[in-house]
Structure 1
Amino acid sequence: MANTPSNMLLSLGTPAPQFWLKDTTTGTMLSFSELRGHEGTLVMFICNHCPFVHHVLEEVVMIANDYRVQGIGVIAISSNDVERYPQDGPERMAEFAFKNKIDFPYLFDETQEIAKAYNAACTPDFYLFDGEDKLVYHGQLDDSRPGNNIPLSGSDLRGAIDSVLYNRSLPESQKPSLGCSIKWKQPF
């Protein structure tokens, strides 16, 4: 199991990179503008096969359920190379979403251009934008990792979302997420 951290290259205050991607659960094309929340938007890069994603998924679904009703848009994107990792393909993404009760958009970034625009490095990788679509948090869910015996709490991400909702400042020093590397397509 690889331990790849977020690369933290997208500066705080950066406008959310826009996209137009296919939602694997509905088959429709959706944009950031359509999915954004009026209070803020959580964009996360995940995939089906990563043990780090499996470890945090139940808490991520709870966070989505807790905060969407408060005006936070929640979006998941998978950007992995499906030629080398077919288990991360769109059909399997829809199955994965259904099996894990993911009822927020799970989008497929086939060209990997969106992952590049966000400077995403790992799964899971979390980006939180405020109501003006400016990046305010790029970091970990919490300190729990597969096998480290720290219970899941979602404390870092929940704290960041609460800060957006209640107009509190966030620290500029944010702890990177850690997970499996995004599986980039190999040049021919």
Structure 2
Amino acid sequence: MSLAVAGARASFLPSSLAASSSLPRLLALPPSHRRPHSSLASPPAAGSRRRLRVRMARTESTGVSVGFRAPEFEVAELLPEPLTGKLWTLDDFEGNPALLVMFICNHCPFVKHLKKDIAKLTSFYMEKGLGAVAISSNSIRTHPQDGPERMAEEAKLFKYPFPYLYDESQEVAKAFGAVCTPEFYLFKKDGRRPFELFYHGQFDDSRPSNNVPVTGRDLSRAIDCALSGQELPFVQKPSVGCNIKWHP
């Protein structure tokens, strides 16, 4: 059972601070693909200045519901952690009351928009007991920049406090039902094994081109609730990002 798994930018402030100043193997879920949405620029009017717009395929997280059990997967399905060579298993997180599994990659603009803040948020909550791991499942046949060597460089550059693993077979992404990057799965302990899905939603409302400051509000509130045993007081919004690059 293994896990051998900026527009304006506001400074990160966890919601908890803002308020006050075993495992059964699960059948792999097939990835659910949604029609990507592109922002297309209309032809400029005569005499008007040309404006460039970034065009990105947008995909929303979907497919699994609260209560979903963290899938088990074999060591052979994942490479070692590129930065350290260590193999990780779900057992490594048995001592954590909650576990954050993130599907990210190197090249996606939606991930680049959040990288520094993801590192800050996870570092803060890992000191409070949160377990965290990031996984890249993108095909290096089409996107070599998302391969293990570049992943190790990214982990070192952004000082990721969590292991950043490569899902070469893409079976882990399929088992989780992951479809986009970034995609966040927050699991909590409920007295049974494995972890139970508590939150499957966005980091916050900020996107690469909407000028909304990055705060991590949605995810940090969810982590606060998971660690304190409270129910979520808000509706979960899906994460939005680039579609996972499946093998051709």
Q: Greater CA radius of gyration, 1 or 2?
A: 2
Letter in 2 for 1:181: N
In structure 1, the residue matched to 2:203 is 141
Aligned mates of 1:115, 1:172 — CA distance in 2: 27
Higher mean displacement: 166-175 or 143-152: 166-175
- Does 2:185 align with 1:185? no
Q: Return the offset for 1:18.
A: 2.2
- Alpha carbons 1:37, 1:72 under 8 Å: kept: no
Find out whether 1:53 has 2:108 as its counterpart: no
Residue matched to 2:220: 158
**Counterparts of 1:167 and 1:123 in 2: how far apart (Å)?**
28
2:57 paired residue number? 2
- The 5 Å alignment of 1:121-136 reads 121-132=179-190, 133-136=195-198
> More strand by proportion, 1 or 2?
1
* SS of equivalent to 2:200: strand
CA-atom RMSD in angstroms: 1.4
Question: What is the identity, as a one-letter code, of the residue corresponding to 1:32?
Answer: L
Deviation at 1:172, TM superposition (A): 8.0
Q: Which runs of 5+ in 1 are unaligned?
A: none
What is the identity, as a one-letter code, of the residue corresponding to 1:117? A
Q: Within 1, Cα distance between the matches of 2:228 and 2:97?
A: 10
TM-score, length-scaled by structure 1: 0.94
Residues 1:154 and 1:127: Cα distance change in structure 2 (over 3 Å): same
Residue correspondence of structure 1 range 1-188 to structure 2 within 5 A? 1-7=56-62, 9-19=63-73, 20=75, 21=78, 22-35=80-93, 38-132=96-190, 133-170=195-232, 173-186=235-248
TM-score of the pair, normalised by structure 2: 0.72
TM-superposition CA deviations, 1:75-95 (whole Å, max 9, x none): 000000011110000111001
Quote the Cα distance in structure 1 between the aligned partners of 2:216 and 2:130: 16
Partner Cα separation in structure 1 for residue 102 and residue 123 of structure 2: 15
Q: In structure 2, give the amino acid aligned to 1:5.
A: E
Per-residue Cα deviation, 1:9-31 (whole angstroms, up to 9, x for no partner): 11211111123332111112211
Q: Secondary structure at the match of 1:139?
A: coil
CA distance in 2, matches of 1:172, 1:17: 26
Name which of structure 1's ranges 29-38 and 107-116 shifts more when overlaid on structure 2.
29-38
Q: Structure 1: which 4+ aligned runs deviate by more than 3 Å? A: none
Distance 1:175 1:183 in 2: 23
Deviation at 1:109, TM superposition (A): 0.3
Q: Taking every aligned residue pair, what percent have the same amino acid on both sides?
A: 52
In the alignment, the residues of structure 2 paired with residue 73 and residue 37 of structure 1 have an alpha-carbon distance, to the nearest angstrom, of 9
